Structures are given as C-alpha cells and as structure tokens.
Structure 1
Amino acid sequence: MTSETLTTELERYRIGPRIKALRLKKKLGLVQLSQHTGLSTAMLSKIERGQLFPTLPTLLRIALVFGVDLDHFFNKGGPRIAVTRKSERVRLPIPAGTTPPSYVFESLDYPLPERKMEGFLADFPEGASSSEPHQHGVEEIVYVLVGTLCVTVDGEVTTLQEGDAISFDSGAVHSYEREGEGPCKAIVVTVS
C-alpha cells in the first residue's frame, strides 16, 4: 500500500488522466488498449481513474502504444517550455563535411519534447553552393533576417530580401541559394 505522502505526490503527475487523454485522442477503447498492451482492462481502468499507480515497466508498455516517451507522464502540467541559449544551440552543417556547407542550421527548439514544429536559425555562408533539392514534413516558413536568399519550390524560384518571408508545402521539392555578398541569415520553421 502506498503512503499518503507518496499518493499525494504521484497524484500531482495526473498519470491516469494523461493515459485516458491519449487513449481518447487515438479513439481506442479500454479493451483495445488492453489488447495492445497485454494489460487487463480492469487494471487500465483503475490506472486511468487514479486508483492504481502503474510501475515503470507497465507505464512503458502503455507509452509504446501511443508513441510517447516516459517524460510525457512526468511533466507536471502547464505549458511546455524550453529555453535554448545562444551558446547551447546545436549547429548542423548541411551537407555535413562540405566546406563551406550550403547552409548551417542552428536548432532553436531542440530541448522541447514532442514538438510539432522545428525552428532554426539558418546561416548561408559566402561561397556556398545551392542546397540539394529536398522535401520533408508538411509546411515550412522562411523569414530572411539579412541578405538575399533564393528559395526554389517545385521548380519556381522566389528571391527574398531582408524582411521578406515565404511559406510553402515542404512536401514539395525545394532548395535554398544565397545571392550577393555579405551575411545571409534566415529563420526557418518546419512543421512535421
């Protein structure tokens, strides 16, 4: 039996309601969740109602069904916030090993778990060639901070100056190429 202090602390995480919310979002009944996890419907019902706290292996079985990390259950609610300090940004030269790379992405939001979009500061170095045509995700927006950037989407070239933005279906083949001299930087946000 769990002590009153432990029960109070565990209840703050609202694990049961989080499981129920995931189940309802996926439109699964308790019987279906039971089939996917190998756990009894009675046990799952008690967990969802906060009458039983799952062990970590049990919680992991449930998390795997929904494709979430265990972290999903241990954040105490409230807004999801992650701060990325300038000195902590992850720099990704694209393509790796090329000097100079076509561009360097610095992740602005990598610490935020389960994010639906990704933000990058993109630096397009002088002397860099056009990026390889690529496609990914659902949508993308590019906002030019400084310089001139040509964005090609599905064969159509758009030239952007400082302060200009373009948004497009990133499932379409696209590429970037800096134009002119001096720095060229943009904010790039992608939605998966």
Structure 2
Amino acid sequence: FDIRIFLLVIQKGNQQQYYRHTGGRCHYTSQDFDLGNLSTKIHIPTGYDEDKEFKNSHPETLKELQQYINRYGGGGGGDYLFTRIDKLLRECCVAFSKVLGNESKFKKQGTVQCQLFGLDILSDDTLQPVLIEINKGPEMTWSSEAERQYKKKIAEDMFNLLGYTKSDVNEFISILTI
C-alpha cells in the first residue's frame, strides 16, 4: 500500500507555513510488489485499480492506519511512522521553500497564496517512509463515504486556516514555518 498525505502551503509575504492534514488515504494494489521479480508488471497504488475486498478489510484513512499499526504492530508503531512522515515532510518543505512563490507578482502585492499538494508515501517493514510522488493538484473526488468525509474536512479546514470560515476544530497540523 501507499499513503496519500495532504500538505497545505500558505505564503504570506516572505513567510511560508506548511501543514499536514490528519485526513488522508491508504491505497492498496491488486498484486504484491516483489523486488526479486521485476519481470512481472508492477502496480504502483493509485486508488483506481485497487483490490476492493482487501481494501474493505484494512484501514482506509490515515487515522485508521495509525490505530491499526498501534494495535497490531505494537509499541506505538503508528505514532512512530507519522513522526517519521512529518520529519520527511519538513525536509521536503525546506527544499520547496527555495522555489515556491519566489517569482510571484502576488507576493509583491502582499496577498496570501496557498497550494494543496497530495504526496504519496510508501513505508517499508521498519516504518521508514519513502516519498514516491508529489501531486500539485490532488484528486478531491471520492469513492467512499469515509473518503468524502475526510476530503470535505480538508477543504473546510483549509478555508478555516485562510480565515474564510471559523471552526474550533482544525485537523491541519503545523509542521514548519519558514
């Protein structure tokens, strides 16, 4: 499986703020990936060609995944994985900060800019996350009620951070300000 993480970047003048949303999704493949047998067709999880039966019996959202790993992996492994994911995201954000919004005419006008990214992350058996893809415009349609709920919450929380709406509960976690 891979994990879809949502990263929000907000730029106000020269300051960039980076947030990870606690909502997200696990994608499952229809066949196992085997490094020892590269002659077979390899499927990278996309969400479009998933093993539905397997998916229905395994965690769908990131919250469910974290609870599942904590319960069955023992030792707070889910918490450990997401601590490592946040570290990886901070490293990516430092690299992003050098190019995001630098040439924008809006920066000079003092307006607020934002961008939502979808990042796909794999994890190995030692819970080491590996970034495999960054999507500038992540898919916000849904294929399940759980997915609809967390994507709606992402949009609501994004508008809340930007000051367009008011809410007491926001599931974006600040991971870095530069």
TM-score category of the 2 structures, normalised to the smaller one: under 0.3
Larger RCO, structures 1/2 (Cα 8 Å, 6+ apart): 2
Q: Which of 1 and 2 has greater Rg? A: 1
TM-score by length of 2: 0.22
